[in-house]
Chain A
Amino acid sequence: MPGRPGPGPAASRSPSDPTSENPTSENAISENAISENAISENAISENAISENAISENAISENAISENPTSENPTPRTRSPGTRPPKRVLMPSYSFLLNGKPVTVEAPSDMPLLWVLRDLLNVTGPKYGCGVGVCRACTSHLDGEEIQPCVVRVADCADRQVTTIEGLADGDRLHPVQQAWLDCDVAQCGFCQPGQIMAAVALLKKTSHPTDADIDGIENVCRCGTYSRIREAIKKAAAQG
Chain B
Amino acid sequence: MVYSLAASTLTVAAPLGCDAAPAEGAEPTAPAPRRSSDVLVTGADEEMLVLEVTEANKVVVRLPRVEVGQGVTTAVAMMIAEELDARIADVEIPLAGARTRGNQFTGGSSSVSSLYGPARELAALARAKLVTAAAKQWRLPARFLYTRNTRVFAPDGRSATFGSLTASAARITRPTVSSRPKPASRHRVIGRPTTRIDARDIVTGKAEYAGDLAVAGAKPTVVARPPTLGGKLVSVDSRAARAMPGVHAVVKAAGGVAVVADSFHHAFQARDALRITWAPGPLASLSDAEIRSRLRAAVPRLGTPPRGSTQTEGEFEFAFVSHAPMEVLTAVADVRADRAEIWFSSQTPMDARDSIASAVGLPAAKVKVHVIRGGGSFGRRLNHDAAIEAALISKAARRPVKLMWSRADDIRHGRMRPASHHRIRASHAGGRVVAFSHVTASVSESYEGKGLFSAQGGVGDAVAPALATAAGPLPSDDGLYNFGRVSGDSGSVDLAIPLGAWRSVDSGTMRTAEEIVVDEVARSLGKDPVAFRRITLRNKSVKAVLDKVAAAGDWGRTLPAGQAQGVAVHEEYGSCVACLVEIDAGDPKNPRVTRVVMAADVGTAVNPRGLEAQLMGTAIDGISTVLTAGLHIDRGAVRESSYADFRYARQRHAPLRFEAHIMPSRREPGGAGELGVPAAAGAVANAYARATGTRPRRFPLTF
Q: Do A and B come from one complex?
A: yes
Chain A residues in the interface with B (C-beta under 8 A): 11, 14-15, 18-19, 21-22, 25, 35-40, 42-43, 46-50, 56-59, 62-67, 69, 71-72, 74, 84, 90, 107, 110-111, 114-115, 117-119, 121, 123-131, 133-134, 136, 163-165, 167-168, 173, 177, 180-182, 184-193, 196, 211, 214-230
Cα separation A38 to B655 with both chains bound (whole Å) = 51
Whether the pair B233, A219 counts as a contact (CB closer than 8 A) is no
**Partner among A38, A111, A168, A217 whose Cβ is within 8 Å of the Cβ of B204:** A168
Cα separation A94 to B658 with both chains bound (whole Å) = 46
Cα separation A69 to B206 with both chains bound (whole Å) = 46
Whether A224 contacts B619 in the complex (CB less than 8 A), given A50-B398, A65-B251, A184-B199, comes out as yes
Whether the pair A193, B205 counts as a contact (CB closer than 8 A) is yes
B212-246 interface mask toward A, CB cutoff 8 Å, 1 = contact, 0 = none? 10100101101000000000010111110011111
Cα separation A181 to B198 with both chains bound (whole Å) = 10
Whether the pair B616, A190 counts as a contact (CB closer than 8 A) is no
Residues of A within 8 A of B404 (CB): 127
Please count the residue pairs between chain A and chain B whose beta carbons lie under 8 angstroms apart in the complex.
Answer: 294
Residues of B within 8 A of A15 (CB): 644-645
Cα separation A69 to B655 with both chains bound (whole Å) = 61
B621-663 interface mask toward A, CB cutoff 8 Å, 1 = contact, 0 = none? 1000000000000000000111111001111101111100000
Tell me the minimal C-beta distance from A202 to chain B in angstroms.
11
Cα separation A11 to B136 with both chains bound (whole Å) = 68
Q: 21 A-B pairs, CB-CB below 8 angstroms?
A: A18-B642, A37-B245, A43-B261, A50-B251, A62-B251, A65-B251, A72-B242, A127-B404, A131-B642, A134-B407, A164-B204, A186-B198, A188-B327, A192-B202, A193-B205, A219-B650, A220-B326, A222-B648, A224-B616, A224-B617, A227-B616
Whether the pair B242, A118 counts as a contact (CB closer than 8 A) is no
Closest to A176 in B: B203
**B281 proximal to A (CB < 8 A):** no
Tell me the minimal C-beta distance from A92 to chain B in angstroms.
15
Cα separation A123 to B620 with both chains bound (whole Å) = 27
Residues of B within 8 A of A49 (CB): 398
Whether A64 contacts B250 in the complex (CB less than 8 A), given A40-B245, A129-B643, A173-B204, comes out as yes
**Partner among A50, A69, A114 whose Cβ is within 8 Å of the Cβ of B264:** A114
Whether the pair A19, B326 counts as a contact (CB closer than 8 A) is no
Residues of B within 8 A of A130 (CB): 268, 406-407
Whether the pair A18, B243 counts as a contact (CB closer than 8 A) is no
A interface secondary structure, majority: loop
Tell me the minimal C-beta distance from A84 to chain B in angstroms.
8
B287-318 interface mask toward A, CB cutoff 8 Å, 1 = contact, 0 = none? 00000000000000000000000000000000
* B contact residues, total (Cβ < 8 Å): 97
Cα separation A90 to B261 with both chains bound (whole Å) = 16
Tell me the minimal C-beta distance from B313 to chain A in angstroms.
33
**B362 proximal to A (CB < 8 A):** no
Cα separation A12 to B57 with both chains bound (whole Å) = 53
**B247 proximal to A (CB < 8 A):** yes
Whether the pair A189, B207 counts as a contact (CB closer than 8 A) is yes
**B534 proximal to A (CB < 8 A):** no
Whether the pair A123, B263 counts as a contact (CB closer than 8 A) is no
- Considering the complex of A and B, which 4 residue pairs feature the smallest CB-CB distances, nearest first? A124-B205, A224-B620, A188-B69, A190-B375
Residue among A18, A21, A131, A228 facing the most chain B CB atoms (10 A cut-off): A21
Whether the pair B209, A190 counts as a contact (CB closer than 8 A) is yes
Residues of B within 8 A of A134 (CB): 326, 407, 642-643
Beyond A64-B257, A190-B209, 5 extra complex contacts between A and B, CB < 8 Å: A39-B246, A117-B263, A128-B328, A173-B203, A220-B643
